Structure formats: structure tokens, C-alpha cells
Structure 1
Amino acid sequence: MNPADIVITDGEFARFQEFFYQKTGIVFGDTKRYFVDRRLADRIVTTKTGSFADYMTALRFFDPRAEELQNLINTMTVNETYFYREEYQFRCLVNAILPEVTHHRRREEPLQIWSVPCSTGEEPYSIALYMLENWHEVDDWDIRILASDIDTRVLEHARRGIYDARALQNLSPAARMRYFTRTGEASWQIVEDLRNSVEFRKTNITCTADMRRYRDMDVIFCRNLLIYFDDASRRRAAEAFYEALRPGGFVCLGHSESMSRISSLFTVRKFQDAIVYQRPM
């Protein structure tokens, strides 16, 4: 069977929209119809289920370890990023957020920064690189960088830490030489010490059990994820981030996202380099 032979009806698309939303919090609007149909058809053919109805039955009742659900999530999520994307927020991190967070912190207490979704690792590694290059107190603190994504495929990519020239385009030649080793004609791997400095985890932020593992975070980077959620899912995510943060901790969102339109739990902080959101003390 060829994927082109699979036809997804309007009713089936609506059923899938609701199913995927319940599992991930992600909303696929009608503008994503072609994208969804094509990838659904690929999974139907790959699993040899033959039809949308049989595929959904297999997902619901014959996938006890959620292996096919994870394959579906990996197929449906889009991951595109690069090093130092929206660099102004990293400037804000080292110039304003970290000095404020550490002002009354004892040295023996760890600083915890969480990148979600981390995609193929460019964001959490960028956080580590930017602090190494620009924060003079970086060696004085126990810094823990956690990185999570719902897509297991991108997490494996992130752990390997191998990138092409496009991903590294914003890094200076000196930084590339200092923190990467060439692995091919046009590929570089981030050095082992930095790979080991980031802990990668599979996490679904709509899953209460997953989110219980995140507590006492100082900074959360959640950029360009909430735009894929509806209002209810955004509010639940905001509440989960509130619980994950220390009092006084910060959330950094994407440039087109605003916590003020989602939740009243956070205080808007306008720093020189960026607007961020703080859990009140």
C-alpha cells in the first residue's frame, strides 16, 4: 500500500485532532490538514494497519507500551532551531536574571535551568555556551541544565550533539573551534564536557506525572511551544511552570508569546534586553 492511497475523511481528521490534543495538548488547525494527513498515512502504511479506523484502534487498545504513540508524536512534531536563536534572551539571562537569582543564594545551592522543548539540543547547549562565554561567575556555582522534549528522536540527536553549518551559523569561529570538533566535511560535534553538562529527558508537559519531576527551577526557557496550544492547554502549562519554579524564578517565552494573555500567576519583568515573567517571591 502507498501512503497516497490513504484518504483521511473530515470526520477522521476531527477524531485525530481530539486524540492528539488529549495526549499532547497540541492543537492542529485546519491549516495543518495536509501535513497531518500525509504523516498519518505514512504511519498507517508503516504499521500495516490498512485504514485510519484500524490504526486508531491499534493506538488505543494494542499499544500497551505506547511505542506507536511515541512514533506518531515523533512524526507529528516539528523541530527547527539553531544556536543562539533569539540571543537577546541569553544576554538577559547573564546580565539581569542570574545576578538577581544569585543575590541571596548560598553558593552550595544549585542553580537549575530548564529548556523545554529542547528539540535537537541547540537551546540548552546555547545556554551553557553563553554562560561560559559571558557570565563571570559561571565557575562559582553548581549549574544544572535540564532539557526535555516529547520527541524521543530529537533527544537522541541532542545527546549526540552533532550539528551542521546552518545550526552553527550564529557562533563565532573562535567559539566553534573552542567547543566543537569536526566530524565530517560539514558537521561538528559539541565537546564531551558540554554534552555531559546537560541532562536530557523525555517529558510531556501536559502529563502531571512528568511535571512532578521538575521542582525548584530558577529559570525556564519555553520558547515557541505555547503557540501550538489552545487557551486551556496554555493555562495548564503556565500553572505547571509556576509549580516547577522556585519563588522568584523566571520564565522566558518566545518573542510572539505573552504570559500576560495566558495567566495572572506571573509578574511581568521588563529588563534592558528582554521581557520575561517571574513567579512572585
Structure 2
Amino acid sequence: MALQDWGIRPVTPITDEQFSLWQAQIEARTGITFTQTRRPFLEISLSTRMREIGIDDYDVYYELVMSGISGEREWVVLVDRLAVQETSFFRHASSYALVEQYIKQRLADKSCYSLNLWSAGCSTGEEPYSLAFLVEEMITNHQRQDIFYGITATDISFPTLTKAKQGIYIERKLQGMPDALKFKYFTQLGNKRDWQVNSDIKNRIAFAQLNLMELDKAPFADMDVIFCQNVLIYFRRFRKRDVVTQLAMRLRIGGILVLGVGEIMDWQHPSLERVEYADTLAYRRIV
């Protein structure tokens, strides 16, 4: 029996011309670059969405995406398919260890009464929630309940942000997290399969849609910590530099920018200095 008999159709190959067209449009609007090695992923993502809405031609779908309000709505759905969303709680432990060290120094400063953190490219929420757990634990351990803190979490994908706001995760997502944290900051739901972040933590986080290509529109400033990991990996070198430079200027003096290791090379900024910390890529604003 053929696949077609089961209703399963093979992915329609995308031509070189169509690939170049989609490649240019996606990069222009999101900064994400699709090289030839990622061409199969683009084919699968596009063809899957096309099949869902009854279109079998890449050019026809392109025209749809580019046309008016309906095209904008479709673009939101497509971006959610194209954005890399694989993440986990406390991913890359050394980066969180650096943030812990920085927060400890801030809490030791008796003139410090607030902390502002930003998870840029927050995906489904594991990163900003991890930051919130970390800050909560440190405030408790250092008896600094007089400190107010807030976390801004942004992502390009509306559907992904919706999932992040709900703060609901399957048991597998919490594997590796200490039970003390799990039972303190999550509540198991009635289906016994899912866990939801408690409301007091969720209330500390403001989720917002933001395209990193449009950071000039972001009204953020004086951040203590900006956490931006596994976001820039598919950006071109010059776009990475533009984004990181924009992020850097939203730090308070003394604040730190934490990036994914290896995501940007040979970048310097006159207002920042490299933070020397094992297995991390981070910068501190000095002026």
C-alpha cells in the first residue's frame, strides 16, 4: 500500500527560485537565515502549513502571506513553525551560575531595592521562569524581601508566548529539577501529567511579543540582566552585531548581558567589558 493510500503525501520539493524568495523574505522580517543545510526544514515547515490550509503551491502560499491583514495573520502562524523552540529549565547551568553570582552582589548592596531582568527570546517560558526561581531563592536566602523584582520575557511568536503565559509543562520537562523547587513553584494538575507554575511566580513576569529586528521600538532600559541565549544562532554576523549592540544599551551601568556560548565572535562595545566566567559568554556595562 502506498503512502498516498493512507493520506500521507511526500513533501513537495521547493525550487531554487522559490527557496531564494522565501529565504530573503524570512530573513528580512525575522533575521533568521535559512542556509542550504536548513532547506529541508524550511520545505517541511512550509509544506505542512500549506497542507493544513489546502494550498499545494509555494508561490500561491507566498502571495497569501504577502497580502493584507489575512497575510499578517498567516505570517504569525508561520513564524511559530519556523522559530526554534527547543528549550528547558536552567538550560546551560554555568550561565545561570553567573547570574546567581551577579544577583548575590546586588543583594549585598543595601541601596539596591529592585531588580529588572529580561529574557530576550523566551520561547515557551522555561528561561524566564528559571530566572524567577533563581531570584526568589536568593531573595529568601539573603533575607532581602524588601527587594522588588520583575522579569520581562519577549519572543517573536504569539502562539509560543501564549504557551509561556500558561506556564503548563508535562512531567518530562521538569526532569532534572530538584524536587524542592518543583514542589515549591509548581502545582500538579488534575490529570496527574501536567504541572503549572504557581501564580505568584507568573505574576512576576510580563510576556510581550517582540521581533529582535525591531529592538529600536522596545521601551526597555536599565536592565540588571539581559539573558539572550540560543536566539542568534541562525542570524547573519552583521545582524547579530546589530542586535547585541541594541541589547547592550538597555543595560544599567553594572548590568550584565548573557549570550549563548559561541553565538557571536569578536564583538566589542566601548561601553562593555567581557565577564570572565567559565563556559559562558557575557558582558558587563561599565559606562
TM over 0.5: yes
CA distance in 2, matches of 1:65, 1:40: 14
User: How is 1:89-100 mapped onto 2 (pairs within 5 angstroms)?
Assistant: 89-95=95-101, 97-100=102-105
The answer to whether residue 174 in structure 2 is matched with residue 168 in structure 1 is: yes
Amino acid at match of 2:132: A
Displacement, 1:255? Answer: 2.7
Matching residue of 1:268: 274
Matching residue of 2:244: 238
The farther-off stretch of 121-130 and 247-256 is 247-256
Q: Secondary structure, in 3 states, of the residue corresponding to 1:19? A: helix
**Alignment length, in residue pairs?**
277
Distance 1:198 1:59, change over 3 A: same
Match of 2:26 among 20, 26, 29: 20
Distance 1:137 1:116, change over 3 A: farther
Matching residue of 1:188: 195
The alignment yields a C-alpha RMSD, in angstroms, of 2.4
Match of 1:205 among 189, 212, 222: 212
Match of 1:119 among 103, 123, 143: 123
Gaps of 5+ in 1: none
In 2, are the aligned partners of 1:101 and 1:248 still within 8 Å (CA)? no
Matching residue of 1:9: 15
Match of 1:154 among 160, 164, 171: 160
Matching residue of 1:139: 145
CA distance in 2, matches of 1:37, 1:141: 49
In 1, are the aligned partners of 2:188 and 2:194 still within 8 Å (CA)? yes
Distance 1:191 1:102, change over 3 A: closer
Matching residue of 1:128: 132
Gaps of 5+ in 2: 1-6
User: How is 1:39-54 mapped onto 2 (pairs within 5 angstroms)?
Assistant: 39-54=45-60
Matching residue of 1:30: 36
Distance 1:263 1:43, change over 3 A: farther
| TM-score, length of structure 1 as denominator length | 0.89
Q: Secondary structure, in 3 states, of the residue corresponding to 1:277? A: strand
Displacement, 1:139? Answer: 1.9
Displacement, 1:54? Answer: 1.8
CA distance in 2, matches of 1:132, 1:243: 26
CA distance in 1, matches of 2:55, 2:261: 41
CA distance in 2, matches of 1:145, 1:219: 9
Q: Secondary structure, in 3 states, of the residue corresponding to 1:140? A: coil
Q: Secondary structure, in 3 states, of the residue corresponding to 1:63? A: helix
Distance 1:2 1:209, change over 3 A: farther
Amino acid at match of 1:200: F
Displacement, 1:257? Answer: 2.8
Matching residue of 1:74: 80
CA distance in 1, matches of 2:34, 2:61: 19
Displacement, 1:88? Answer: 2.2
Q: Secondary structure, in 3 states, of the residue corresponding to 1:66? A: helix
In 2, are the aligned partners of 1:117 and 1:150 still within 8 Å (CA)? yes
Amino acid at match of 1:9: T
CA distance in 1, matches of 2:247, 2:229: 13
